[in-house]
Structures are given as C-alpha cells and as structure tokens.
Amino acid sequence: MTSALLPHEAVVVDRKDETPEMFSLRLRFTDPEVQAGYRFSLGQFNMLCLPGMGEVPISIVSDPEDRQTIDHTIRQVGSLTRNLGRLEIGDRLGLRGPYGRGWPAASAEGTDLVIVTGGLGCAPAVSLIEFALRRRSRYGRLHIVQGVKHAHDLIWRERYDAWRQHPDVEVYLTADTGDTLWPWHLGPVTQFFDRIDIDPTRCSVFLCGPEGMMKAVIREMDRRRVPARRIWLSMERNMHCALGACGRCQLGAKFVCRDGPVFSWAELAPYLAHQGI
C-alpha cells in the first residue's frame, strides 16, 4: 500500500528562467505508469519535495489535457524554492498530488471572464487564461487586469502582448509606481472597472494575488451587483500535509489545501470578513 504522503519520483525534462527570481520546471514521473495515470484539473497544485529538505505547494500551470508532462512556475522566496531553482534538466525530485479544488472552468462557460491578478506573475491565473484562449468558443469576452507594485515587477510582458492580439480580449496593466519605460497605467487595479462593461448576470470573476487587492476588487464587484457565487479567489496559506489532516492551512471551518485553494466569495466571506478582507 502506498501512503498519500509519499511522493513519486519525477525528473526535470526542461527548465526556463523567467526572471532572475522566477523559473519554470517541466516535470515527468520517472515511472511511466504513474505518469499515464496522473490527472489534474485547472488550478490544482502539487507538493514538490526535495529529499532531506522538505516540500512546498506549487500550482500546476500546464494544460489538464497534456498528459505527457507537468509544468510549474516558481518564485524563489526561501530555502526550498531556492533549491528547486538550482535543479537542472535530468535532476530528480519528489512530487505528490494533485491536490485541492481548482478554478470552475466548466461553470464559467458561456460567461465573460474578468481575471484580476496582483503581484509577481500569478501562476494560477496564467494557466486559466491560457486554458480559456485554447478553448475560445466556450467563453465570452476576456478582461485581464494585472497590477504590480513597481514597473520592474511585471513579468511575462510578451504574454500580455500576445493575449491582447486575440479577438474580444482586453488587457489592462497597471503599476503603483512606474518608470520612464512603463507605457501603461499607474494606480490600483480597481481604477479599470469603470471602463469594463460588466454584465453581472453573465460574468465570472477570478482573483489571484494579495488579499488586500482581492478585497478591493470584491467591493467593486459588489457595487456592480456581481453575485458572490460568481467571484472566485485563489488562496494561499502555509501547508504541511495538503490532505486536510494537519490543520496548518485552516481558514475557519475550511482547509485551503482540501476545500480550496479556489473558493467562491460566497463560501469565504463568513471566514474572512472578521480578518478584514
């Protein structure tokens, strides 16, 4: 019998440096049977494990229909992520997952998507955008709003340029502090909502980033009468088991690892209201 806590061995089949701090790893299980049986849904995460060091939750950014490899984009913030950043093609690591509940891609079909992200390269939102663009006829208009603190925090500039070439896709980029080479907007992400034609009866709102930013967007959506059940947030908490067993990621009566990381605002409001969100 194998334990749900026991990782399977995976190998790095490709890697790409996105910025000095961020990198992407393309992984494949070394056991072909494990790879063949691996299924995930959009917005779920894996636990990546370095033997003797520990493990970290990381979102899956590849397409759920790609059964050959598993992609992750990682920012180096501490010891584990820095050591993952040293992995080269051919190196091995442990992987267990997938875990959690991801974005409700099916229930958003037929609606306009408003995707608002904040901070440095929000991996779960990128996977959602790529997913919707590959299945363009299933969704209405896409409004992509990305905010960063400083102009130099924006990564994946070429992706935003590529996304805005698609019909019915609008991309808004904004920074709290710009520089001479910043051609877009200055100010909070909420400034764009007066320009976006939001029909509260046929839109789905997806949020990923700092909780303060998500709180501000939720207030705007509430003003426009978007129902709380059509607003989705991807949450982050420190994790240990990822199985709903240790309580490390508890949020009221919910566990972010098991019941999330994606929650509707209707579910989260009772727990986060008293924390100020």
Bind-site residues for [2Fe-2S] cluster: 241, 246, 249, 257
Per rule CB under 6 A, is residue 198 in the interface with ligand FES? no
Q: Looking at 1-9, 78-86, 103-111, 145-153, which segment touches ligand FAD (CB under 6 A)?
A: 78-86
218's tokens: 């939720």
Structure-token match 């959009």, residue found: 42
Q: Looking at 77-85, 132-140, 172-180, 218-226, which segment touches ligand FAD (CB under 6 A)?
A: 77-85
Per CB under 6 A, contacts with ligand FES among 215-274 are 239-242, 244-249, 255, 257
Task: State the nearest-atom distance from the C-beta of 65 to ligand FAD, in Å.
Answer: 19
Sign of the Cα torsion 220, 211, 235, 148 reads positive
* Phi, psi at 32, each rounded to 5°: -55, -30
Q: Using CB under 6 A, pick the residue from 4, 6, 36, 77 that binds ligand FAD.
A: 77
Binding mask 30-69 for ligand FAD (x = CB under 6 A): ---------------x----------xxxx----------
Per CB under 6 A, contacts with ligand FAD among 216-255 are 236-239
Q: Is 244 left (phi over 0), alpha (psi -120 to 50) or beta?
A: left
Return the CA Rg of the chain. Answer: 19
Pairing of strands 254-255, 250-251: antiparallel
Task: State the nearest-atom distance from the C-beta of 154 to ligand FES, in Å.
Answer: 31
Query: How far is the CA of 58 from the CAs of 65, 122, 181, in angstroms?
Result: 19, 11, 32
Per rule CB under 6 A, is residue 141 in the interface with ligand FAD? no
Q: Using CB under 6 A, pick the residue from 30, 79, 177, 275 that binds ligand FAD.
A: 79
**Residues in CB range of 269: below 8 A, 6 or more apart:** 228
**Residues in CB range of 121: below 8 A, 6 or more apart:** 18, 19, 22, 73, 75, 155, 156
Total H helices, total E strands in the chain: 7, 15
Question: Which residues contact ligand FAD (rule: CB under 6 A)?
Answer: 45, 56-59, 73-75, 77-81, 123, 236-239, 261
Question: Which residues contact ligand FES (rule: CB under 6 A)?
Answer: 239-242, 244-249, 255, 257
